[in-house]
Amino acid sequence: MAVRDVVPWGVMIDGVKLSTSIHGSAAKMMAVYIVGSLVGSFAIAYLCDTFVSDKKAFGGSTPKTVSEKEWWQATDTKFQAWPRTGGPLVRTRRRTTMALARMKMERVWRITEAAVPT
């Protein structure tokens, strides 16, 4: 087989058209398959989630704190209470490895300076 003709839309080999671009109909078919598979995946995920969590496929029951409306209302009023009381703000200090090494070296220098008589 020899390349007979190179045209803008592809290559002709022995009278057979070989296209290098995606035509509109092919893109449409790919889009149909991709969208269809995504919709199917979400449907399967929804059905599995409903079956496992709502239908209690593995047994168990819904906790009282989730099913009772009174508990939700009491919790909501507790969280919405103002002023909120609590302890002092928690302050964290992140120390990097270099900072820890520097602190260690400073301690060593202080110890050695104290040990050496002047």
Q: Give DSSP secondary structure letters for 31-96.
A: HHHHHHHHHHHHHHHHHHHIIIIITTTT-----HHHH-HHHHHHHHHHHH-SS----PPP------
Give the separation between CA 63 and CA 53, rounded to whole angstroms.
12
The total of structural domains in the chain comes to 1
What digits encode the pLDDT tens for the residues 48-83? 999 998 888 888 887 777 778 888 888 888 888 776
Task: Classify residue 41: in a domain, yes or no.
Answer: yes
Domain span at 17: 1-62
Task: Classify residue 99: in a domain, yes or no.
Answer: no
Task: Classify residue 28: in a domain, yes or no.
Answer: yes
Instruction: Kindly report the average pLDDT of the chain as a whole number.
Output: 77
Task: Classify residue 83: in a domain, yes or no.
Answer: no
Task: Classify residue 36: in a domain, yes or no.
Answer: yes
Three-class SS state of 25: helix
